[in-house]
Chain A
């Protein structure tokens, strides 16, 4: 029986539980003996010119080895003519609170905090550009010579007649708020320059990409750089490749010819690690009263933070996935990406797709409310039908496989949707202070969006019969050690405990991409699988010679891991024996798996919340999901990814937001202020299984890592609004905190003003006369 698809507990866990993982700050290697400690001096200003840095007092402090500033960066390539280039240390100008300005190197870390306080930086304040509105207004530019704060723009506006033929058109401004990824392990790095070579240990999701970033920033050939990812305590997209502070650690180690190490504080992490989301949307949806959506346009502005980095790319992903699961006559998006004097924004679990989903799901709910139809029914009438795959969207995405209506039906059945609506009705009739809200979301998302970059796997089976997998994937909690061993074991019959999986060291795995975009199983796993098949085939070819039979007469007995003449176990040759004959390296296969296209997992979530209408507090009491990512290799791992994803989506909907004041000072820069979700705010989740395979890869798998997050946030947001919709509430932006819910309820009872329409200007609802559209201007 195949091990694939069965529940296998992780091989990673005994070590992690009994000894703890070895994360970057845990390293106690001889190469790092005597390493100095780095403490960064960071800007307390959102936007300012640096008019002077006085390091004299700091340099005299106990234990100080050196104090480095931008003026010492004379040995790295210049930015050239890139006006928005990001320096390793701020040179002359700071653009966000927390931007690194200087490096203090001390013998121990306690001394570092003391000495960093003594570095005196003179700032000449510049106006902060805190909001997207500030950035677009453009009265203050972050970068000289750019003419605006616009980093990128794209997409075409809706055609003039896109919304004609609609009975109803709704347009609304909504926010997908800025979040902090908050991996439990903050950023950390250790570096050593020896014998003309740099070794950087860093908490990264992509050792090979990190090597490339270091090469570019430091002007070194890649061959002179080794990057090692030790155990990594969570990444969620925020630890992709290597970012400026880690690169600065490497530079300083080379500069001082001394091993150095660094670990930030959580406060630094909340200002210095990339943030996520941070988009503003104008959603416009139109349709007919029979429930058919005719047109949808999303206009989005991506806040990139102080440096463009990944921000523009996030916007393109949102645009790509804007139409979601729906088959709509016109669906399109336009985007702009702007810079602001805040922490740079980059990929965070979902990276552009949660934003697209939240936008269209909100739009569909608003449309449903406007025409008085159950939002579930509206979805049923508009999702891409199951016989339409592969389905090409107007944005050019080719959805490989899916059955959106089936996912919706499954989750509704599991949730007991009719019963929930009945309970809701009872509470509404009684006017209970605790009201029930039911939110439903349907989603599709893109995984392995960079599929053509592929993933690598080298597989070695040695003369003892043990197997070593060298994978370009880079687990930081996903359980690849177990999953990839399952693939090898299933193909070659090697027991799990004789399979080692190696990743995250560019000397051991010189070529690879790493783990993000939910790509690892479909790309990395497919590469492992293919390598196992190739090893098996090589073994057969060798066995044929050893047994003196033709390859066609041989069969592989996976239960013994051996090739034999068909039906004749006496002739069996184990892989170990064949590997011995293969040569000193054993049986080896090298695979670079590059499919043509990404895959598109999908699903549907139902969230049930209880809202205390007197206080506005929403409590999630049930969360039911279908998340279909094709075939499930190991349900234990898949469920874990769904749970973690759901929790982060719920957190966005109810609790979390990175806030800045009008001067660009972060207001939520500790975990006491940033409301990272805890166990008490969550119920146990109800996961329903559904597997719609893909033909894009031989495993039939898609990516599950981000799906839970993408589906969860809109369902929960919708549920909160639904709980108080009968009071007149139409919309509440995420996070739907108690004060926001209470405010929304209160506004429904506010004194009428001289102007008609809702008190919040976010929505305009235009009722069309049946004879033809006549736009009512407001």
Chain B
């Protein structure tokens, strides 16, 4: 069937098998390989992307279901001038990645988490990332990174709020 998915702001149209998984569409058709596959039981979260702004495991979505919808992958998080997203910056600052394989999915899960809960506790972050496995970091620095990103956003909002007064 013919599908059109908007990926990182650009329309990607193709003729695909009905059974094509969204994660393969992103990797093979859209040519964006940051989104990774780490399991076959919707367990690991390495394939997490934003679908219409919310974190979703793209291995468990048919491309057909994403037809006409918006997807953001890790490649689409940075600003147009190449500046890293605050969550990406925080992951680097806090050493929240080692081999990097879980990282695109982890970062997008964190982005979605912070959108829904801008001021998470450590426990909120750990629960919020229960669907994302990491084998390298022990999660310690990932949690620090997400909390740091939340703090940075809070600080920015405070600054904006103060500036507006």
Chain A–chain B contact at Cβ < 8 A: yes
Binding site for B on A (CB under 8 A): 9-10, 12-14, 16-23, 25-26, 28, 110, 181-186, 231-234, 236, 263, 265-267, 476-479, 636-637, 639-640, 643-648, 670-672, 676, 678-680, 682, 684-685, 708
Partner of A685, one of B35, B130, B138: B138
Write out, one digit per residue, whether chain B residues 59-88 have a CB within 8 A of any chain A CB (1) or not (0).
000000000000000110110001010001
Structural contact, B84 and A676, CB atoms closer than 8 A: no
Partner of A20, one of B17, B75, B133: B75
Nearest-Cβ distance from residue B17 to partner chain A, whole angstroms: 7
Knowing A17-B74, A639-B95 are in contact, say whether A183-B100 is a contact too (CB < 8 A): no
Structural contact, B133 and A28, CB atoms closer than 8 A: no
Structural contact, A184 and B134, CB atoms closer than 8 A: yes
Q: Which residues of A contact B134 (CB under 8 A)?
A: 184, 679
Structural contact, A14 and B84, CB atoms closer than 8 A: yes
Structural contact, B98 and A477, CB atoms closer than 8 A: yes
Q: A349 — nearest CB in chain B belongs to which residue? A: B135
Structural contact, A640 and B137, CB atoms closer than 8 A: yes
Structural contact, B136 and A477, CB atoms closer than 8 A: yes
Q: How far is the CA of A676 from the CA of B140 in the complex (A)?
A: 16
Q: Which residues of B contact A233 (CB under 8 A)?
A: 36, 99-102
Partner of B95, one of A10, A19, A20, A110: A10
Structural contact, B130 and A679, CB atoms closer than 8 A: yes
Knowing A640-B141, A671-B43 are in contact, say whether A185-B93 is a contact too (CB < 8 A): no
Structural contact, A17 and B138, CB atoms closer than 8 A: no
Q: How far is the CA of A676 from the CA of B43 in the complex (A)?
A: 10
Is B39 among interface residues, defined by CB-CB distance under 8 A? yes
Structural contact, A643 and B133, CB atoms closer than 8 A: no
Q: How far is the CA of A708 from the CA of B136 in the complex (A)?
A: 12
Nearest-Cβ distance from residue B107 to partner chain A, whole angstroms: 7
Structural contact, B19 and A110, CB atoms closer than 8 A: yes
Structural contact, B99 and A234, CB atoms closer than 8 A: yes
Structural contact, A23 and B107, CB atoms closer than 8 A: no
Knowing A266-B40, A671-B44 are in contact, say whether A19-B92 is a contact too (CB < 8 A): no
Knowing A14-B84, A640-B98 are in contact, say whether A234-B136 is a contact too (CB < 8 A): yes
Structural contact, A9 and B92, CB atoms closer than 8 A: yes
Q: How far is the CA of A14 from the CA of B135 in the complex (A)?
A: 20
Structural contact, A643 and B46, CB atoms closer than 8 A: no
Structural contact, A186 and B38, CB atoms closer than 8 A: yes
Knowing A16-B100, A185-B101, A643-B140 are in contact, say whether A680-B130 is a contact too (CB < 8 A): yes
Is B52 among interface residues, defined by CB-CB distance under 8 A? no
Is B165 among interface residues, defined by CB-CB distance under 8 A? no
Structural contact, A682 and B101, CB atoms closer than 8 A: no
Knowing A17-B92, A183-B135 are in contact, say whether A680-B127 is a contact too (CB < 8 A): yes
A-B contact pairs, 11 of them (CB 8 A): A20-B35, A20-B100, A182-B135, A184-B99, A186-B38, A263-B37, A266-B44, A671-B133, A678-B130, A684-B122, A685-B140
Structural contact, A17 and B101, CB atoms closer than 8 A: no
Structural contact, B36 and A185, CB atoms closer than 8 A: yes
Partner of A684, one of B19, B82, B140: B140
Nearest-Cβ distance from residue B76 to partner chain A, whole angstroms: 10
Structural contact, B78 and A184, CB atoms closer than 8 A: no
Chain A CB within 10 Å — which of B92, B100, B140 has the most?
B100
Structural contact, A679 and B99, CB atoms closer than 8 A: no
Q: Which residues of A contact B82 (CB under 8 A)?
A: 18
Structural contact, B39 and A671, CB atoms closer than 8 A: yes
Structural contact, B98 and A478, CB atoms closer than 8 A: yes
Contact residue range for chain B?
35 or more
Q: A476 — nearest CB in chain B belongs to which residue? A: B99
Prevailing SS type, chain A contact patch: loop
Q: Which residues of A contact B136 (CB under 8 A)?
A: 184, 234, 477, 640, 644
Q: Which residues of A contact B46 (CB under 8 A)?
A: 184
Q: B32 — nearest CB in chain A belongs to which residue? A: A20
Is B7 among interface residues, defined by CB-CB distance under 8 A? no
Q: B100 — nearest CB in chain A belongs to which residue? A: A16
Is B31 among interface residues, defined by CB-CB distance under 8 A? yes
Nearest-Cβ distance from residue A534 to partner chain B, whole angstroms: 31
Q: Which residues of B contact A186 (CB under 8 A)?
A: 38
Q: How far is the CA of A672 from the CA of B42 in the complex (A)?
A: 8
Structural contact, A682 and B138, CB atoms closer than 8 A: yes
Q: Which residues of A contact B103 (CB under 8 A)?
A: 16-17, 20
Please count the residue pairs between chain A and chain B whose beta carbons lie under 8 angstroms apart in the complex.
182
Q: Which residues of A contact B135 (CB under 8 A)?
A: 181-184, 234, 236, 644, 648, 676
Chain B CB within 10 Å — which of A28, A263, A636, A679 has the most?
A679
Structural contact, A676 and B40, CB atoms closer than 8 A: no
Q: B130 — nearest CB in chain A belongs to which residue? A: A680
Is B148 among interface residues, defined by CB-CB distance under 8 A? no
Structural contact, A679 and B139, CB atoms closer than 8 A: yes
**B89-113 with Cβ < 8 A to chain A:** 91-93, 95, 97-104, 107
Partner of B101, one of A184, A478, A644, A708: A184
Nearest-Cβ distance from residue B6 to partner chain A, whole angstroms: 19
Using A17-B84, A640-B137, A648-B135 as known contacts, list a sample of 8 further A-B pairs with CB atoms less than 8 Å apart, ordered by residue number in A.
Answer: A185-B101, A236-B135, A637-B95, A640-B95, A645-B138, A678-B129, A679-B126, A682-B126
Write out, one digit per residue, whether chain B residues 131-165 have a CB within 8 A of any chain A CB (1) or not (0).
01111111111111000000000000000000000
Partner of A234, one of B43, B93, B101, B143: B101
Structural contact, A16 and B43, CB atoms closer than 8 A: no
9 tightest A-B contacts by CB? A20-B34, A233-B101, A477-B99, A647-B138, A477-B98, A643-B138, A16-B100, A671-B43, A26-B33
Structural contact, B101 and A23, CB atoms closer than 8 A: yes
Structural contact, A479 and B75, CB atoms closer than 8 A: no
Nearest-Cβ distance from residue A693 to partner chain B, whole angstroms: 24
Q: A676 — nearest CB in chain B belongs to which residue? A: B133
Q: A108 — nearest CB in chain B belongs to which residue? A: B28
Structural contact, B99 and A13, CB atoms closer than 8 A: no
Q: How far is the CA of A186 from the CA of B20 in the complex (A)?
A: 21
Knowing A10-B92, A679-B126, A680-B126 are in contact, say whether A184-B133 is a contact too (CB < 8 A): yes
Structural contact, B133 and A9, CB atoms closer than 8 A: no
Knowing A17-B84, A678-B133, A682-B139 are in contact, say whether A670-B39 is a contact too (CB < 8 A): yes
Q: How far is the CA of A18 from the CA of B75 in the complex (A)?
A: 5
Q: How far is the CA of A110 from the CA of B95 in the complex (A)?
A: 37
Q: Which residues of B contact A183 (CB under 8 A)?
A: 99, 101, 135
Nearest-Cβ distance from residue A202 to partner chain B, whole angstroms: 15
Partner of A16, one of B17, B42, B97: B97
Q: Which residues of A contact B139 (CB under 8 A)?
A: 643, 647, 678-679, 682
Q: B77 — nearest CB in chain A belongs to which residue? A: A18
Nearest-Cβ distance from residue B73 to partner chain A, whole angstroms: 8
Q: Which residues of B contact A231 (CB under 8 A)?
A: 99-100
Q: Which residues of B contact A23 (CB under 8 A)?
A: 33, 36, 101
Q: Which residues of B contact A184 (CB under 8 A)?
A: 36, 38, 44, 46, 99, 101-102, 133-136
Structural contact, A679 and B100, CB atoms closer than 8 A: no
Q: How far is the CA of A577 from the CA of B144 in the complex (A)?
A: 44
Q: Which residues of B contact A26 (CB under 8 A)?
A: 27, 33
Structural contact, B98 and A479, CB atoms closer than 8 A: yes
Q: Which residues of B contact A16 (CB under 8 A)?
A: 97, 100, 103
Q: Which residues of A contact B100 (CB under 8 A)?
A: 12-13, 16-17, 20-21, 231, 233, 477
Q: Which residues of A contact B40 (CB under 8 A)?
A: 265-267, 670
Structural contact, A185 and B95, CB atoms closer than 8 A: no
Q: B144 — nearest CB in chain A belongs to which residue? A: A684
Q: Which residues of B contact A9 (CB under 8 A)?
A: 92-93, 95
Q: How far is the CA of A233 from the CA of B104 in the complex (A)?
A: 12
Nearest-Cβ distance from residue B41 to partner chain A, whole angstroms: 4
Structural contact, A20 and B92, CB atoms closer than 8 A: no
Structural contact, B74 and A21, CB atoms closer than 8 A: no
